[in-house]
Structure 1
Amino acid sequence: MALPEENNLSKLLTSSVSGTSFLIAIQVFSRLFTFVANQLVLHTLSPAILGVATQLELYLISILYFSRESIRVAIQKQPLEHHFDAHSGKRKQDHATKAPSSDDAAAVRRSTLSSQTVVNMSYLSLGLGVPLALIFAGFYVHFAPEEVSQTPFYRLSVAITAVSSLLELGVEPIFAAVQQHMLYKKRAAVEMTAALVKSLAVCSLFAWASWTGNTVGIFPFALGHLCYSCTLVFGYIQVTRDVRKQWRFSLFLTRLKSRDQSRYVADTFSCRLLSLSANSFFQSIIKHILTQGDALILAAMTSLEDQGIYSLACNYGGLIARLLFQPIEESSRILFSSLLNSCESGASTKAANAAKAHLVDILRGYGMMSAIVLPLGPHLVPQMLNALGGHRWDSPMVASLVSLYCYYIPFLAFNGIVEAFVSGAATPSELRTQTGWMGVFSACFALAAYFFLRIAHLGAHGLVYANIVNMAVRILWGIYFIRSYMLRHGIRMPWADFGLRPSTYIVGVGLSLALAWHGTFGSGFREILKSGAVATAYALLIMYLEREFLIIKCEKLYPMLKTKLLKQKST
């Protein structure tokens, strides 16, 4: 397949920017609903109940992650392969939902087979999910500590959560089609609605229990998961009706039929997806342990109250990660896969340069964010917690945990975008190599956790330090891979490309020392105004020092967004 022309690369970048905005909107609204719901119930919720709810969510996440993550990664490796003509390299349609013209019949057949292949592959998620849900349910019911198993409605909640996970996996074929056709707007509408319904269900049941004096335990959280899954099912079925008609593929398992070479292309595509899925599955096991390792260690070694406090600290501390970093990581993974897998190796310099430019821009932006968060976050967090947590959560441990989590946030950001590039660029053999290295990362995390928990006796704070060590070694390996990949394409990537100006570092260190001398801001009105003024002035100063980079990015971004808006108006 020939390298797409520069205008097609521009379309990919524009689609990535548009997709990122919609994905961020999903996270902002869904987290806003969840945040409001948590604040409404937090004042009447005990840390122990929140601790069990955290274990219930870990149960759901584990089923979904092991069942669908490897297949999603494999599908994203080739999201746009059949949307380009094999000879001209030109894209067959300008908009994901625009019906193709009659002279593009062959392209339509190829796209139909591609979409049907992706849908068929997605059913593997449900096939994996059923046994995993049963195994994990048995584990959570029979091996739960007595303190957990005696929580009201615990067994019923585990059963409902299992059903919720299978319903959500049943949506994977539709989700795959939505992702392949880049229907980010439709996805945003469905997922934001589902988040709203979930939050309303949790709040309503807790409010009813509070008014009537009933004990509901963790049942509202299980019901919230079920409402979320049901809304996804009905929502995705509705929004994809037109797409299914236009591209003529089915959401059910369907045998691929074609009289031309497209059938051979689809079979090859299926085999490649299966191979990538198999390689990614074993990697996903280790990655899940690394990602959820703190929750697993907490569940095994600490009390429910400590788990609830740590969960609250992570929810507050990781809010920016879920709102901003996760959408950027997801859309960037799709962009990197499209750029680095849609061209022949001999003609991939333009695509590699475009991928490098996108990566460097994000790394530079994350660097600016880190320069703002690291000095300010630890000193402003306790002030915000005093207003949000209520008397049950007015604890120095919570405040210090969330303050410490501010130092962990930049590591989350850099690791996410680095691993997005690795996922998009790595070959199956390189993925197997990465899986081996992830075993090393797991050992580093385990050793760090043992040191900070058992030797240093730092408790939950030690887990944050262990996670920082874990992310640091993963980032270093990822950067090594990226620089090696770029050198294979004759592209240098020095550290200075994504570093900040020296004056920015000096100002950041200076403010950190000044705030360390000043101490934590108080909770009074004057102290809030004072801290807000300091934060605003410092953020503006950082933006001024990095103004050259910001101006260049705005000049590049404005024409892309303007073109996108004009196309939307014309259609």
Structure 2
Amino acid sequence: MEQSLLTSSLQNISFGIVLQIIVRIITFLSNACVLRYISPDALGLMNVRLLLLESTILFVSREAFRKSTLDNVRNHNWPLVINLIWVTFPMSIIISLLLSYVWLNLLEAPPPHLQSQYIVGVWVMSLSCIIESTCEAPLLVANAFLFNKLKVALNLLHIGVRTLVFLPLVLSNPSSAVHAFSAAQMVGTIAIVLGYYGYFHYHVKTPKKDFPFKTLRDFLPRLDLQEWVHRPLAWLTWSLFKTMAVKQLLTEGERYVMTITGVLSLTQQGVYEIVNNLGTLPARLLFRPIEESCYFYFAQLYKRGERVTDLNKEHMEEASKLLYYAMRCTMVFGLTVMAFGFSYSRQLLFLYGGETLATDTGTVLLRAHCTAILFLAINGITEAFGQSAMSKEQLSWYNYSMVLLSVAFLFISWVLTQLLGGLGFILANCCNMATRIFCSLKFMYEIYEGSQWQPLKGLLPGPLIVTALAVSFIITILSESVYYSDNKLVHLTIGGCCGLFSVGVFFYEEKELFKIISSKLGLDKQFKREHED
């Protein structure tokens, strides 16, 4: 079982990374097309105000349910679990109504020329969140039974439909960009809901062993059960809800501060968000798929609150090895972004939005983001492990710590933003993540203390790759000072050569890691068959 889980988790990470690359390429190109047509006010309204509304509704109404229902799926009583996941539907309605009122009546009004579009946008985003909550049951089943290709296909459908709707509308009428954004959001949501139910409508027609869903009706809640929901999972959901609510506040803290306090104008918010999207691109490409897959994998093998020495030795050997290499890879990736990001931030902004973005302010913000990536790299995997293995008491302690951290983070964000503008948000985030990393590492040290495994050593990258990145950093810094102004192509070529050199060094130094990945994904067997043929 653990071998199947590990293989599927690695496949899920691979699919997730490929999906994120495709999605971000599409998003990058579409944004590059429209940035020169949309006003900064409209960008701030869409990318900060409306997307914050969407992420808050979805996060509060469903995230804890998603995490808890993936805990030890082998022993699920599925009718009770389906009932529990459907609680997200009424919750999304309640949260949507409350937050729509706040967004429309309590927050600072947008400019008059965007007022009517903003009202429509708020209600469309809320309605799309409610509609999206209706597909939580098939999405849970897809995650639990490792329908990895289905998730990739439907996520591509979602982003593809949104892009195909948004681009023609906004290019034909840039002044109605918020309307185009709202329409694309609604159509994309409907597409992904229909996609999940459509797939399982055909999938359940052929009976399959070990798949407990026989008809599409099994994905809907049942009221004829003696016990309406799975109580242990319901309590776990509540524990995770407190954790996830605080995490949402920490993750989206700068947007909340911008939206509620108005420390940045809508125009400044628009520019900050563009740079922020570029700066956090590596996190969305790599760290999120790894974090989600590792959480699922660890949640199946670890028993909450127990030390690894009390668990199955074979399981812990595999899990500790995965944790070690996951931390090592994300650490190296974070260092790589730091090494190259400093020299190529200005060029990336120039390619993305022209001279309007490639200013000193934008370059400083993006360079700061490249530093923050290192903290994101460590925080994602350590927090995923902690939340999958902590007992209820440890989760409660963690929640309490995160509440205190949230208050401190918001205060520091406000103070630093008053002094440094958008740069203050990034620095506050680094402080926030450093504290969260410390809490997670403390838990990991305690749970592995006295055991034969030391996955925390994964935070120490090999000396060869560190040397290669240091050399690349120096070379690209010199290249920018000499070639950027007059010959950007030469500067880009030098960076590409340094990048290939660093990748080659990493492959050489981590041969064992890539042998394991090839083995688990079946690539070694495929190579042998092709070689024999």
Q: TM-score, normalised by structure 2?
A: 0.89
Match of 1:111 in 2: none
Please tell me the residue identity of whatever aligns with 2:18.
Answer: A
Partner residue in 2 for 1:378 = 342
| SS of equivalent residue, structure 1 residue 145 | coil
Asked whether the equivalents of residues 375 and 434 of structure 2 are also in contact (C-alpha less than 8 Å), the reply is yes
CA distance in 2, matches of 1:43, 1:175: 37
Residue in 2 aligned with 1:465?
A: 427
**Residue correspondence of structure 1 range 177-188 to structure 2 within 5 A:** 177-188=141-152
**1:12 is aligned to 2:12:** no
CA distance in 2, matches of 1:142, 1:497: 49
Q: 1:492, CA displacement in angstroms?
A: 4.4
Kept in 2: contact 1:43–1:391 (CA 8 A): no
5+ residue gaps, structure 2, are: 208-212
Letter in 2 for 1:17: L
TM-score of the two chains, using structure 1 as the length reference: 0.84
Residue among 419, 430, 439 paired with 2:403: 439
- What is the Cα-based RMSD across aligned positions, in Å? 2.7
Residues 510-521 of structure 1 mapped to structure 2, 5 A cutoff: 510-513=471-474, 515-516=476-477, 519-520=480-481
Letter in 2 for 1:62: T
Other-structure match for 1:209: 173
Tell me the SS of whatever aligns to 1:45. Answer: coil
Which of 290, 294, 302 lines up with 2:264 in the alignment?
302
**Are 1:161 and 2:125 matched, yes or no?**
yes
User: Residues of 2 paired with 1:369 and 1:282: CA distance?
Assistant: 31
Matching of residues 413-492 of structure 1 within 5 Å: 413-454=377-418, 457-487=419-449, 490-492=451-453
Distance 2:363 2:331 in 1: 25
Change (3 A) 1:149 1:244: farther
Question: Which of the numbers 44, 57, 66 marks the counterpart of 1:63?
Answer: 57
Structure-2 change in CA distance of 1:437 and 1:543 (3 Å)? farther
- Name the aligned partner's letter for residue 317 of structure 1: G
- In structure 2, relative to structure 1, the CA distance for the partners of 1:521 and 1:565 (3 Å cut) is farther
Confirm or deny that 1:224 pairs with 2:224: no
SS at 1:386 equivalent: helix
CA distance in 2, matches of 1:462, 1:32: 29
Superposed CA deviations along residues 98-144 of structure 1, whole A, max 9, x for unmatched, are: xxxxxxxxxxxxxxxx3333322111111211111000001111123
Structure 1 counterpart of 2:40: 47
CA distance in 1, matches of 2:134, 2:168: 27
Note the C-alpha offset of 1:343.
12
Q: Which residue of 1 aligns with 2:235?
A: 275
Identity %: 22
Q: Give the equivalent residue in structure 1 for 2:82.
A: 119
Return the alpha-carbon distance in structure 2 between the equivalents of residues 49 and 242 of structure 1. Answer: 42
Which consecutive residues of structure 1, in runs of 5 or more, have no partner in the other structure?
A: 1-7, 83-113, 258-262
Q: Which of 126, 131, 140 is matched with 2:94 structurally?
A: 131
Which residue of structure 1 lines up, in the alignment, with residue 353 of structure 2? 389
Q: Secondary structure at the match of 1:389?
A: helix
Residue pair 1:422, 1:478 contacting (<8 A) in 2 also: yes
Aligned: 1:527 with 2:488: yes
d(CA) in 2 for partners of 1:164, 1:494: 42
The match for 1:200 is 164
- SS of structure 2 residue aligned to 1:189: helix
- Indicate the SS of the match to 2:420: coil
SS in 2 for 1:446: helix
Task: Measure the CA separation in 2 of the matches of 1:379 and 1:171.
Answer: 44
2:524 & 2:241 partners in 1: Cα distance? 36
For 2:210, the equivalent position in structure 1 comes to none
SS of the counterpart of 1:146?
coil
Q: 1:251 aligns with which of 207, 213, 219?
A: 219
Q: Counterpart amino acid of 2:214?
A: R
Deviation at 1:522, TM superposition (A): 4.8
Amino acid across the alignment from 1:138: Y
- Report how far residue 172 of structure 1 moved: 0.7
Of residues 268, 290, 295, the one that matches 1:328 is 290
Equivalent residue number for residue 106 of structure 2: 143
1:528 partner letter: L
| 1:404-427 residue CA offsets vs partner (Å, 9 max, x unmatched) | 211111211211111111121112
Deviations 1:216-268 (A, max 9, x none): 141111112111110011101111124444332512112576xxxxx9xxx69
Q: Deviations over 1:475-518 (max 9, x none)?
A: 11111111111227x34427544412335434544544555566
